[in-house]
Amino acid sequence: MNARLSISRLCNAGFTFVEILAAMVFLAILVPAVVEGITLASRVSEIAERSAIATELGQNKLNEFSLRGVWATAESRGDFSGDWPGYRWEFKQSTWDVDSMTQLDLTVFFTVQGREQSVVLSTLVNPADASTTTSTSKTK
């Protein structure tokens, strides 16, 4: 008799239609949210990686301009040739009112998942001796 009860309980064990439907609704809500979270994390990771590369490329280019003293005659835009496809730069200079310095700004542009991002690097040079005095960077 005890064995008969166990078999009948096993035959009746399982999920009802309502329970299966509730689980499917829960998954329908949960899966898109998880996928969106993974996509966002991937985008943020790629932006961080490419921003670090853009900052390094921009610092090298800005140092080249300021140390070689060619910032006054440098081109206003360009790219990083075939070595770094997808990265381009724009250069501008402006007068800095304090101490008769010149501010050099280099913006490096790159694209992440169809959206253009940029990193701006700035430094100050003395037009008299073209020596670098300070350097800063910021990401947009």
Is the pLDDT at 28 greater than 80, yes or no?
yes
Look at residue 121 in the predicted model and tell me its pLDDT.
Answer: 95
Buried b (16+ CB within 10 A) or exposed e, 112-137: beeeebbbbbbbbbeeeebebeeeeb
Exposure of 79 by Cβ count < 10 A (0-12 exposed, 13-18 middle, 19+ buried)?
middle
CA distance 119 to 133: 20
Q: What percent of the chain has pLDDT over 90?
A: 49
Sequence-separated (6 or more) residues with CB below 8 Å from residue 108: 54, 55, 57, 58, 61, 87, 88, 89, 118, 119, 121
pTM of the model as a whole:
0.68
Express each pLDDT in 56-72 by its tens digit.
999 999 988 888 888 88
pLDDT in tens, 83-95: 899 999 999 988 8
Phi, psi values for residue 17, rounded to 5°: -60, -40
For the chain, the average pLDDT equals 84
Strand order in the sheet with 132-139: 77-79, 88-96, 101-112, 115-125, 132-139
Q: How far out from the chain centre does Cα 19 lie?
A: 43
